Amino acid sequence: MRRMRHLWQNDSGSVLVFVAVTIFALAAMAILAVDISKLLVTRAQLQNAADAGALAGAELFVTDEFSQPVSRETVEQRAREVAEMNRAFNDARGGDYPTSNVSMVIAVAETDETSAMFGAVSCTTRSVVSQYFTPITALMGGHADTPGTGNVMALAVARAGEVCKVQCLKPWSIPDRWDDTGRPGWPAWSGNKHWDSEKFTDQNGNGRYDVGEPFQDGVDGSKGGGPMDGLYTSEFYHSLLTGYIASKDLGELMRFKVANPHDASEPGQFYPIDLCQDPADRTCSGAANYSWNIANCNPNLYGPGDWVNTENGNMIGPTGQGLEELIAQDPGAEWDADCQCITGSAFGAGKSPRIGYIPLHDPRIPLNSGKMAIQIVKIIAVFFEQVQGRDVMARFIRVQAPGEQCAPGQGGGNYVFNLSLIR
């Protein structure tokens, strides 16, 4: 009994046991740290590959010609090809190197049947990673193919599309292109239960049509009214079929503000418009505000369906002043017809302040003398050339820019687009 008590109280060798346990715990923690680090690094590598693949695939939705929309198979193939250019840990491939090109890629493109000019691409990448302790697949969303290994996965979803509402609008608006041959019976204009410049009752006395005010549907929008026969008898217009679109008009030089009174569409109408810096402000007309909008970026979003007021008068002086300030911000930029792009800019590709956005209005609503409201049907991107005489000259361009993407079925001519990762 005394011997057992002595052995129980004897602490010789306890340090050795403690050291052994500590070494084992530290080794386990080190191995676990290696496992987790490898998983995190692989996850980051796969995420980069998935992001690149999704963006590359989505970009095809807006880079193909309007007349030849891209196919879903082409988009998916492009996404896989770009994702597979990236490298990540993959123990299933074997070999002497710890990383290899990503090979397990799933790409799925989603398109809208009413418009091939936008869509989303999801790209999933996967890699097999060996583990010292456990596969830890439950944490990473995968499953173990073999003992001691686990799947690491990453997902990215990119969306590409035309942009219909933008900032930095310039204070001019010309009518979108229409067909002068006429097309009697075009149903999109008359009898459509929407106000299309027909006679209306101005209930609040503001001189413009407001939603909810009574109007006489079915009246032809041309000058002089027209019979209530339910037919549209003026020129045929469609935003994409007759209007300006990038695939046909890229690089064309266009006059967006006339100076000669003989070129005015109506007396006093030289195509300037009022753009308020404050959307609630209805008193933003005047030469100073007009010139400021030429040289600077209006912060408000404008797009199809919005209404703006015409600015009467030739505004030759304010136009020249604003354009001089605008061009002076990037004097070396110029249009290169060979590459159909802007070169020499101090701000980089697509970033020149001489790039602006101009609203086109519905050509079926005739301009009259005096101030009037016009409805925006499309936003185009342009590059402002040097002033020619006293006219404002600019070229149609195509740029990537922030803004609100077009709704399904709504097209803006493919002048402005953006790409974004949405997941």
* DSSP conformation letters of 203-243: SS-SSS--TT--B-TT---STT---SSS---S-B--TTTTS
| pLDDT given for residue 228 in this prediction | 57
| pLDDT given for residue 171 in this prediction | 94
Closest by alpha carbon to 366, among 254, 235, 222? 222
| pLDDT given for residue 5 in this prediction | 60
| Lowest mean pLDDT across 156-165, 257-266, 291-300, 302-311 | 257-266
Distance between CA 410 and CA 381 in Å, rounded?
17
Reported as a pLDDT band with limits 50, 70 and 90, residue 370 is confident
For residue 308, pLDDT beyond 50? yes
| pLDDT given for residue 110 in this prediction | 78
Average pLDDT over residues 372-401: 86
Average pLDDT over residues 377-400: 86
Q: Determine the residue type at 281.
A: D
The per-residue pLDDT for range 83-98, each reduced to its tens digit, is 888 887 776 555 455 6
Q: Report DSSP state, residue 263.
A: G
Per the DSSP assignment, residues forming a β-bridge with 8 are none
Dihedral sign, CA of 330, 332, 337, 342? Answer: negative
Q: What are phi and psi of 16, to 5 degrees?
A: -60, -45
For residue 351, pLDDT beyond 80? yes
The per-residue pLDDT for range 126-136, each reduced to its tens digit, is 887 766 554 44
Mean pLDDT of all residues belonging to the chain: 76
What is each CA distance from 114 to 32, 111, 409, in whole angstroms?
52, 9, 5
Question: Which of 1-15, 143-157, 237-251, 347-361 has the highest mean predicted lDDT (pLDDT)?
Answer: 347-361
Per the DSSP assignment, residues forming a β-bridge with 391 are 388
Reported as a pLDDT band with limits 50, 70 and 90, residue 148 is very low
Average pLDDT over residues 223-244: 64
- Residue 322 tokens read as 């604003």
| pLDDT given for residue 7 in this prediction | 53
Per the DSSP assignment, residues forming a β-bridge with 395 are 253, 383
Average pLDDT over residues 135-146: 46
- Residue 380 tokens read as 């185009």
Distance between CA 208 and CA 202 in Å, rounded?
7
For residue 23, pLDDT beyond 80? no
Question: What percentage of the chain exceeds 70 in pLDDT?
Answer: 69
Q: Whole-angstrom distance between the N-terminal and C-terminal Cα of the chain?
A: 72
- Residue 73 tokens read as 């198979």
Q: Which residue has the higher pLDDT, 286 or 118?
A: 286
| Lowest mean pLDDT across 32-41, 221-230, 410-419 | 221-230
Torsion of CA 217, 219, 225, 228, to 10 degrees: -120
Q: Which residue has the higher pLDDT, 378 or 119?
A: 378
| Lowest mean pLDDT across 26-35, 98-107, 332-341 | 26-35
The per-residue pLDDT for range 240-284, each reduced to its tens digit, is 888 898 888 989 998 888 887 777 777 777 889 999 876 566 567
Please name the residue that has the structure tokens 């008898």. 233
Distance between CA 88 and CA 92 in Å, rounded?
11
| pLDDT given for residue 119 in this prediction | 79
For residue 8, pLDDT beyond 50? yes
| Residue 27 three-state SS | helix
Distance between CA 181 and CA 178 in Å, rounded?
9
Dihedral sign, CA of 399, 400, 402, 408? Answer: positive
Long-range contacts for 215-223 (Cβ within 8 Å, ≥24 apart)? 217/190, 217/191, 217/192, 217/193, 218/190, 218/191, 219/190, 220/189, 220/190, 221/189, 221/190, 221/196, 221/197, 221/364, 221/365, 221/366, 222/364, 222/366, 223/366
- Residue 170 tokens read as 């310039």
